[in-house]
Amino acid sequence: MALLEVRGLTKNFGGLAAVNALDFDVNEGEILGVIGPNGAGKSTVFNLICGSIPPTSGTLTFQGKQITGLPPHAIAKRGIARLFQGNALFPNYTVITNVLAGFHLHTDLGWFGFLFGSPSARRREEILYSKAMEILQFVGLADEADRIASSQPHGNQRHLCLAIALAAEPKLLLLDEPVTGMNDEEVSGMLAMIRTLREKRGITCIIVEHNMKAVMGLCDRIVTICYGKKIAEGSPKETSENPAVIEAYLGA
């Protein structure tokens, strides 16, 4: 049984089908790429999986249980987290406070308990701080823990966003353009981290990314969509040689 099963997933906006009868599986422990030209519906697929928007039709099954139509917080508690395309963080708080906020899904504490130090938060501060530092060590930001998030360069902010997602202890991580805006060295570092997530932490990943070199070198399988429909699925080699994929990107 696949970790995530997507069946007939459809999302209509008025008369436009942004996602149209999409089927694919994500197997436990793999890195799956979802690619397609601009406007293909990739971000809409992520929004549907995370519960940000409800599907018009179709089903989403995670670990054998239906998650179709559940709200985002409920899906996150099931074990699905997302690294957003933009740097979604608390810019005026410290790096480590941002990671501590990410733990709120797996405690009885809310955002304000973490940010403003409620009695309940203080009792668990030591344990959570240790876990947060472990995550920051993994993403290479331990030395930046007490610095303000907005003071960090773009590459570090991307790593911080990944750290926040990891604080939710996901089984499935959705990576929306994780290397966007990075230089070659930063790209290599981020790709190495994603591989380590799978190899050392057992986290399954879906990646949407326009950097085709990164996708081809990272992913086990690739699903290609165009105008909301799946037009190809296969290995990186099969994808790069598929005439439908080539046409979608370059034209007939």
Order of strands, sheet of 65-66, starting from the edge strand that comes earlier in the sequence: 16-26, 4-13, 57-62, 65-66
Average pLDDT over all residues of the chain: 90
Tens of pLDDT, residue by residue over 20-49, are: 999 999 999 999 999 999 889 999 999 999
Q: Per-residue pLDDT for 136 more than 90?
A: yes
Residue 128, pLDDT score: 85
Assess if residue 162 is contained within a domain: no
Q: Which amino acid is at 73?
A: H
Q: Which amino acid is at 156?
A: N
Residue 102, pLDDT score: 83
Residue 135, pLDDT score: 95
For the chain, how many structural domains are there in total?
Answer: 1
Closest by Cα among 241, 248, 217, 194 to 39: 248
The boundaries of the domain holding residue 25 are 1-78+214-252
Tens of pLDDT, residue by residue over 76-107, are: 989 999 988 777 788 999 999 999 888 875 55
**Contact in structure between 174 and 206 (CB atoms under 8 Å):** yes
Assess if residue 19 is contained within a domain: yes
**Contact in structure between 238 and 225 (CB atoms under 8 Å):** no
**Contact in structure between 210 and 245 (CB atoms under 8 Å):** no
**Contact in structure between 167 and 135 (CB atoms under 8 Å):** yes
Q: Give the separation between CA 151 and CA 157, rounded to whole angstroms.
A: 9
Closest by Cα among 234, 180, 172, 179 to 204: 172
Residue 243, pLDDT score: 94
Assess if residue 124 is contained within a domain: no
pLDDT band, residue 248 (cuts 50/70/90) = confident
Assess if residue 72 is contained within a domain: yes
63 or 113: which leads in pLDDT: 63
Token pair, residue 18, equals 């942004």
Assess if residue 248 is contained within a domain: yes
Closest by Cα among 53, 51, 26, 143 to 95: 143
Assess if residue 26 is contained within a domain: yes
3-state secondary structure of 211: coil
Token pair, residue 131, equals 């876990």
Tens of pLDDT, residue by residue over 150-201, are: 999 988 999 999 999 999 899 999 999 999 888 999 999 999 999 999 998 9
User: Which position has the token pair 């994500």?
Assistant: 26
Residue 60, pLDDT score: 97
Residue 214, pLDDT score: 93
**Side-chain-side CA neighbours of residue 56 (13 Å):** 14
Which pTM does this prediction carry?
A: 0.89
Assess if residue 116 is contained within a domain: no
Q: State the DSSP code for 107.
A: S
* 51: CATH: 3.40.50.300
Residue 90, pLDDT score: 86
Assess if residue 161 is contained within a domain: no
**Contact in structure between 51 and 70 (CB atoms under 8 Å):** yes
Residue 252 CB contacts under 8 Å (≥ 6 apart), including other chains? none
The proportion of the chain whose per-residue pLDDT surpasses 70, expressed as a percent, equals 91
Q: Give the separation between CA 116 and CA 90, rounded to whole angstroms.
A: 13
Q: Which amino acid is at 166?
A: L
Q: Which of 9-18, 64-73, 86-95, 238-247 has the lowest mean pLDDT?
A: 86-95
**Contact in structure between 157 and 89 (CB atoms under 8 Å):** yes
